Amino acid sequence: MLWNQSGVSGNAVCRWLTFMVLALLPCVQSARISAQPVTHGELPPAAKRLVDFKKDIEPIFSTHCVGCHGADKQRSGFRLDDRASAMKGGENHAPAIHPNHSSESPLIRFVAGLVPDMKMPQKGEALNPEQIGLLRAWIDQGAQWPQDAKVAKRLHWSLRPVARPDVPRIANPTRKGIQPIDAFVLTQLRKNRLDFGDPASRGAFIRRIYLVMHGLPPTPEEVRLFVNDPNPDAVSELVDRVLASNRYGERWARHWLDVVRFAESNGFETNHERSNAYHYRDYVIQSLNEDKPYDRFVQEQIVGDYLGVDSGTGFLVAGAVDIVKSPDINLTLMQRQDELADIVNTTGTAFLGLTLGCARCHDHKFDPISQKDFYAVQAVFAGVNFADRPLRRKLNAAEKNELVQLEKSRASQSVDLATLKQKAVATQLSSVSKKSLRPQVNSRLNEEEFLSMEATAVRFTILATTGAEPCIDELEIFDSNGSNVALASVGTKPSASGTLPGYAIHQLEHLNDGLTGNSKSWISSTSGKGWVQLDFPAPRTIRRIVWSRDRSGQLTDRVVLDYRITAQSKSGKWMEIATSQDRESSGKPDPKAFLKHLSEQEAKSAEELLGQLQKLEARFSELSNGTSAWLGTFSQPKLTHRLYRGDPLQEREVVAPGAVEVLGSLGLREDEPEQQRRLKLAEWIVNPRHPLTARVMVNRIWHYIFGTGIVDTPSDFGANGGVPSNEALLDWLADEFVRSGWSIKHLQKLILVSKTFAQSSSPRRDGMAIDAEARLLWRFPPRRLEAEAIRDCILASSGALDLRMGGPGFSLQIKENDNVDRYFPKENFSTNDFRRMIYLTRIRQQQDSVFGAFDCPSGNQVVPKRTRSNTPLQALNLFNSNFVLEQSSLLSARLLQTAGTQPKSQVSQAFHLIYGREPDRFEHKASIAMIRDHGLDAFCRALFNTSEFIFVF
């Protein structure tokens, strides 16, 4: 062999041969490229030294048109002068470059002319052999791009690292006690020939801070104490009291629920209510009230099941979900893609301010987010399923012991009951008649009792269903001791005629995993029929079978109607042990139907056992599972593929779980365990060095305090989003946020005690001329309250507000239950409807009759900032609705009780309750006249409709 004679190693020859094949193939297929002469055993000259990007590669990029065209004239979508673009490649070839492997890199095949329908460069002359050789050598050496300051400067401002700027020094300050925040704001104001306005009065200040931070007005007593407090630290102490109140968490939780598209129904045409979704809402309120560090808050929402905070994962499944599946596999797969896209997009906008969803079908048109990045993040969440999950309980020693005793009692009493049922079956079979038929099949629980027999396997054959492919969530087989011998954990193996593809929650393994409910079920691949079989590891003596479609009782479709159950003996013979033929074909199931086939004494014993077992099951469930909540379930997903143009039937290469490549990598395998995927992504998001996480959150805080963020697109920090009105301030706040231990309340206090926040909201001619929207904050920007705050303020002023916290919410809708739920707004209200609106059960696509008109989101989409429209319907609702009329009457009664019958006293008390101040002479006179001419109720209704009441000034 020649390489042996020359003394060159086999590995070196392999590299040389690889290069030669790539060098010579273009010569065969394109007359424009000739092979570079290479002597035996030598690599090309370009590969004998370290290739320098700036010297060798950048000239190629700068002198040739980069990118390529396909035969369909569609741009392939990648550029060689941009690392992220070149590494991802185009729609049909991704990635374009495989570092250290030039022979596997599509880029080399394109520039060498080996792909007939792809041209690269798009225009001008093709690369010569030396240039191709340089590219190959550069790729084989790792395809390194220069990471210098020049490259960093090309990054969008939000993707650059946060660097804490120095606090500006203010020359000749017009106000004492300038805080760092004030220094940044004032510097920007003076650049625009503006200055701070006058401070707000103490009465206006306390009303502002309560409305902004609580969404409720201060009481007259709270106003009086603050206005007359001579303490120089009165403002700081007021802020501390406001932040310590439970009303704070209720107010700010509403903001966060907007951001994460939280609502309590499924949406789409069925729109079923999620009666147990409130646990996530309560989690958010509690987290904010206790000032949970924001990094922990983020992690608990992504991987709370790992961190022991189950309620946090309600974030993942807070969006809408279509529960009506289609027999068309393309539509079914697309539904699943929509579910995952919702999670990916919400994660991106809520925590990172990135519109990741824009890269679902193609590379992002504005930001350095590739389609591969989108599917890498999707792979992180591919195991998330929209479903209920029990909240785990932490048991003490006594409860653990009770659980053991309950299990023993349940097993013993189940055996006793099974014996009686078996006796009833034997009696029934001896005289089969119409009256002796068993109850019809139901979706929740079905039992089969038969004479004890020894079997090696059991087969459940499905002959007909209520429609579509049949579903079984659990198939249990009990021996004579009451033990479930069907469990996979004891060695029993399932098999089936086929399983519906595309669903992690509907796999064969769920048939005997010991878990029930739709999210842990098996669905046949054939409509209306199929079979499943359980093979025991050794012969078992069996006497009872329990099966169901959805033991949680939520779903009633795909129910098996006609079936045969057979068992295989040790000799291999199959015998029928149960069938649907002896069941009623219609009528309501009666779980006690077997009692009539027993003697009077036996029936009495059986009924007592049923009652005892029901109590045992309830207590066992309470101790072992806790309350079921809409928090999602998790399963190990299949491999994730990049989808050509987002089409689930056009899979391309496998994509490993990951993040946005331009910001870093998670370093995960394609088959990484499901929980680890979410954990690593959460840790990556809250890394203190991440350029986006802190910036996005401090901007949200600024937005909800001043009405507009420093970046006016709170969930889009990309190139298509807004430009910071004060970038230095944003970075200082972000750095301070992380340094404080991610304390939200710390940051809020810095803002609330600043001179910037304490300014009057009064307009000035110079400010209106230069900055009419007050983005630069030359005054406090006044704004109308949100729908929830207006309603809460009305209830607080009338004295009707119910401050109960947590638990199931109240409804402002009348619901008609059906396969498709219908909702109608209430027109009349009870005291149970007078809780804070954060506790309203929010139904997607529906609004209440009064405050839905005030731009109140329904949860169909993320709402980073609310619109503030001004419509006639708003005025009519606030003036003539039954709710406002009722609250006006309640406020009138309150005034009569506290101020007596004199209009002068009533007006004074009303102004203190509504505005937190005394009326002036004109207001006093006009108010007394209105009470005299139109009555006290009308006067109260007029106050509810004033701008001063529904605006923050």
Higher pLDDT, 610 or 316: 316
Question: What is the average per-residue pLDDT within 196-203?
Answer: 96
* pLDDT 10s digits, 545-594: 999 999 888 888 899 999 999 999 999 999 999 998 888 864 445 677 78
pLDDT value at residue 92: 62
Question: Does residue 189 sit within a domain?
Answer: no
The rounded distance, in Å, linking the Cα atoms of 57 and 513 is 57
Higher pLDDT, 6 or 569: 569
User: Are the CB atoms for 460 and 524 separated by under 8 Å?
Assistant: no
| Count of domains forming the chain | 4
Question: Does residue 386 sit within a domain?
Answer: no
Question: Does residue 777 sit within a domain?
Answer: no
Question: Does residue 541 sit within a domain?
Answer: yes
494 and 597: one domain? no
Highest mean pLDDT among 44-58, 416-430, 838-852: 838-852
Name the least confident of 168-172, 195-199, 451-455. Answer: 168-172
Domain ends where: 127, 154, 181? 154
pLDDT value at residue 16: 33
519 and 458: one domain? yes
For residues 627-650, one letter each, b for 16 or more C-beta atoms within 10 angstroms of the residue's C-beta and e for the rest, the string is: ebbbbbbbbebeebbbbbebebee
pLDDT value at residue 131: 83
Torsion (CA) 434, 435, 440, 444 in degrees, nearest 10 = -160
603 and 486: one domain? no
pLDDT value at residue 74: 38
486 and 597: one domain? no
pLDDT value at residue 762: 97
472 and 556: one domain? yes
508 and 527: one domain? yes
* DSSP for residue 122: S
41 and 126: one domain? yes
User: Are the CB atoms for 726 and 757 separated by under 8 Å?
Assistant: no
30, pLDDT greater than 70: no
When pLDDT is cut at 50, 70 and 90, the band that residue 109 belongs to is confident
Higher pLDDT, 385 or 482: 385
Question: Does residue 413 sit within a domain?
Answer: yes
User: Are the CB atoms for 752 and 213 separated by under 8 Å?
Assistant: yes
% of the chain residues with pLDDT over 70: 87
Higher pLDDT, 4 or 920: 920
Question: What is the average per-residue pLDDT within 463-478?
Answer: 92
Domain ends where: 557, 582, 607? 582
Domain ends where: 138, 154, 170? 154
Name the least confident of 197-206, 414-423, 713-722. Answer: 414-423
Amino acid at position 763, single letter: P
Question: Does residue 502 sit within a domain?
Answer: yes
416 and 487: one domain? no
* pLDDT 10s digits, 637-657: 999 999 999 999 999 999 999
Question: Does residue 617 sit within a domain?
Answer: yes
364, pLDDT greater than 80: yes
Tokens 């060498």, located at residue: 112
* pLDDT 10s digits, 429-443: 665 544 467 888 998
When pLDDT is cut at 50, 70 and 90, the band that residue 91 belongs to is low
pLDDT value at residue 152: 42
Question: What is the average per-residue pLDDT within 500-515?
Answer: 90
pLDDT value at residue 544: 94
* pLDDT 10s digits, 800-810: 999 999 999 99
pLDDT value at residue 118: 72
22, pLDDT greater than 50: no
pLDDT value at residue 80: 60
463 and 423: one domain? no
Q: Which residues contact 724 (CB under 8 A, 6 or more apart)?
A: 157, 710, 711, 730
Crossing angle for the helix pair 600-624 and 397-430, nearest 10 degrees? 150
468 and 577: one domain? yes
When pLDDT is cut at 50, 70 and 90, the band that residue 841 belongs to is very high
Higher pLDDT, 642 or 24: 642
For residue 891, the enclosing domain spans 883-952
Question: Does residue 381 sit within a domain?
Answer: no
When pLDDT is cut at 50, 70 and 90, the band that residue 93 belongs to is low
* DSSP for residue 778: S
Name the least confident of 604-613, 697-706, 797-806. Answer: 604-613
The rounded distance, in Å, linking the Cα atoms of 953 and 942 is 19
603 and 567: one domain? no
468 and 570: one domain? yes
Closest by CA to 584, choosing from 428, 357, 408, 405, is 428
- Specify which residues 568 forms β-bridges with: 457, 574
pLDDT value at residue 85: 63
447, pLDDT greater than 70: yes
Mean pLDDT of all residues belonging to the chain: 87
pLDDT value at residue 595: 82
Torsion (CA) 668, 670, 675, 680 in degrees, nearest 10 = 20
Closest by CA to 497, choosing from 521, 531, 522, 463, is 531
